[in-house]
Amino acid sequence: MKRDNFSGTFGVLVALAGSAIGLGNLWRFPYLVGTNGGAAFILIYLLFVFVLCLPILISEFLVGRRSQSNAVRAFTTLAPKSKWGIVGVLGVLGAIAILSFYSVVGGWTLNYAVKAISMDLLHTSEQVTDTFNSMVTSPFEPVIYMFLFLLLTAGVIIGGIKNGIERFSKIMMPILFVMIVMIAVRSVTLPGAGAGIEFLFKPDFSKVTFETLLVALGQAFFSLSIGCGAVLTYASYVKKSENIVKTSALTAFSDAIFAMIAGLAVMPAVFAFGVSPTEGPGLVFIILPEIFEQLPAGGFIAILFFFILLIAAVTSSISLMEVIVTYIIEEFRLSRKIAILVTLFIATILGTLCSLSQGVLSQIRIFGLNIFDFFDSLSANVLMTLGGLLLVLFVGWKLKKEDFMDEISNSGTLNHKILYGAIYFLIRYIAPIVILTIMIFGLI
């Protein structure tokens, strides 16, 4: 069977950036910045992104492109008769876990986008809180929207790589970028926005703990979509002539820039209206509508914002679903259609559980967490970090150095010996040591 491909450099870049830029940047990042003390957290996060996670991104890219295969077989192709396939299995499981709770938040977003259009969002602050709480705890509404969100995701990837994922990302990513800049400009020009800007850019390291490091690392992994086979799966559809290091660096760079712009879109507004930034996961769903309500043309801004959130969510969820779908297609020799149906089925069941765990099933606890938080924490704190660690160990210690150099340099056509040597050093020594240290200290 002939494998589909991305058509060229721009297509690969928007797809990877589309996967990276998502709810992680617009929903998770602002509330984590808010609850973890602002600028110091951001600096640590950026350090992790470029020093630690970029080498992991490059490793994952390299494994995918060299093997031209799904997340599990990639490892068994490059290291036959070994147990490394387990890394791929962890990846696929991670993708399933993330897709499950991600679709729930995607569903909330779709719901809010619809509410924004029907002008059903802008009320007093108590009403806004009520709207959110009653929506997420309801046994029906969020489940239906979660399912619609999954259908939307499936609707894109049914087209395959070039005509589905690539085409969708090419149209949506530029729109997304222009829209978020518009919101950020509005936010930083509000009277009283200065305090928010200061919160984002004036670091105070006195409150940094190991917990902060762990949260920042988890967020860096989550935001770059690494450690769960998503980059690997996309890379397996990338042609041998693309420049791995350049594309990876541009992906990390766009993701970091986008997170900063998202911070600028949210925090100045939060401070300008005198609300506390430590609201947590409800930040963009509760605080922002409250703020939009008080702005001129707020109804329009609300529509714009929740559409941004929706687009960002879909360009990311397609990468999660594609990990599972590519795996099913290749390992069980099923058609794309059937593979998507199977994935939809699994994700709908697990997603429903995640959604209900906010309400009627909230008494079910796994390690003290409800199902939703358990999936979130399992993937961000265990599966992705462990996946990332094993991945760099694989590339740094199992894969032959010649193979690494051959793949990263496109069989010698690119000549950046010193750069590649430095990347190899980061992958082989620095990344494993740092991740391991943070994991161990984070657990105790």
Binding part of the chain for ligand TRP, among 145-153, 220-228, 397-405, 407-415 by CB under 6 A, reads 220-228
| Closest CB 218 distance from ligand TRP, rounded Å | 10
| Closest CB 289 distance from ligand TRP, rounded Å | 21
Six token digits for residue 71:
């997340």
Q: Which of residues 143-162 bind ligand TRP (CB under 6 A)?
A: none
Beta bridge partners of 366: 369
Among residues 183 and 384, whose Cβ is nearest to ligand TRP?
384
CB atoms near residue 274 (< 10 Å):
8
Tell me the residue type at 155.
G
Please give the Cα distance from 412 to 428 (Å, whole number): 21
Q: Is 222 in the site for ligand TRP (CB under 6 A)?
A: yes
From candidates 12, 14, 17, 20, binder to ligand TRP by CB under 6 A: 20
Q: Is 87 in the site for ligand TRP (CB under 6 A)?
A: no
Q: Is 25 in the site for ligand TRP (CB under 6 A)?
A: yes
Q: Which of residues 239-278 bind ligand TRP (CB under 6 A)?
A: none
| Closest CB 19 distance from ligand TRP, rounded Å | 5
Binding part of the chain for ligand TRP, among 15-23, 48-56, 299-307, 406-414 by CB under 6 A, reads 15-23
Please give the Cα distance from 328 to 154 (Å, whole number): 14
Please give the Cα distance from 62 to 192 (Å, whole number): 47
From candidates 18, 24, 196, 277, binder to ligand TRP by CB under 6 A: 24
Which residue is it, tokens 């797809």?
15
Q: How many residues bind ligand TRP, per CB under 6 A?
A: 15
| Closest CB 351 distance from ligand TRP, rounded Å | 15
Among residues 6 and 273, whose Cβ is nearest to ligand TRP?
6
| Closest CB 25 distance from ligand TRP, rounded Å | 5
Burial label for 412, CB within 10 Å (0-12, 13-18, 19+), is: exposed
CB atoms near residue 284 (< 10 Å):
26
* Alpha carbon separation from 178 to 182, 258, 305, 315, 374 (Å, rounded): 6, 11, 12, 16, 35
Instruction: State the first-to-last Cα distance of the chain, in angstroms, to the nearest integer.
Output: 49
Burial label for 1, CB within 10 Å (0-12, 13-18, 19+), is: exposed
Q: Which distant-in-sequence residues (6+ apart) come within 8 Å of 429 by Cβ?
A: 396
| Closest CB 94 distance from ligand TRP, rounded Å | 7
From candidates 11, 22, 38, 289, binder to ligand TRP by CB under 6 A: 22
Contact call for residues 70 and 331 (beta carbons, < 8 A) = yes
Name the DSSP class of 366: B
| Closest CB 21 distance from ligand TRP, rounded Å | 6
Please give the Cα distance from 348 to 58 (Å, whole number): 32
Among residues 63 and 228, whose Cβ is nearest to ligand TRP?
228
Contact call for residues 225 and 18 (beta carbons, < 8 A) = no
Q: Which residue is nearest to ligand TRP (CB)?
A: 24
| Closest CB 406 distance from ligand TRP, rounded Å | 27
Largest CA distance in the chain: 64
Binding part of the chain for ligand TRP, among 130-138, 222-230, 285-293, 347-355 by CB under 6 A, reads 222-230
Q: Which of residues 311-350 bind ligand TRP (CB under 6 A)?
A: 316, 319-320
Among residues 184 and 259, whose Cβ is nearest to ligand TRP?
259
Q: Which distant-in-sequence residues (6+ apart) come within 8 Å of 333 by Cβ?
A: none
Q: Is 230 in the site for ligand TRP (CB under 6 A)?
A: yes
| Closest CB 57 distance from ligand TRP, rounded Å | 11
Among residues 17 and 275, whose Cβ is nearest to ligand TRP?
17
Q: Is 370 in the site for ligand TRP (CB under 6 A)?
A: no
Q: Is 223 in the site for ligand TRP (CB under 6 A)?
A: yes
Q: Is 42 in the site for ligand TRP (CB under 6 A)?
A: no
Beta bridge partners of 369: 366
Name the DSSP class of 98: H
Among residues 56 and 230, whose Cβ is nearest to ligand TRP?
230
Nearest to 329, CA basis, from 81, 92, 60 = 92
Q: Which distant-in-sequence residues (6+ apart) come within 8 Å of 216 by Cβ?
A: 36, 41, 44, 45, 48
Please give the Cα distance from 266 to 184 (Å, whole number): 7
Among residues 20 and 110, whose Cβ is nearest to ligand TRP?
20
Among residues 319 and 326, whose Cβ is nearest to ligand TRP?
319
| Closest CB 220 distance from ligand TRP, rounded Å | 10
| Closest CB 23 distance from ligand TRP, rounded Å | 4
- Which residues contact ligand TRP by CB under 6 A? 19-20, 22-25, 98, 222-223, 225, 228, 230, 316, 319-320
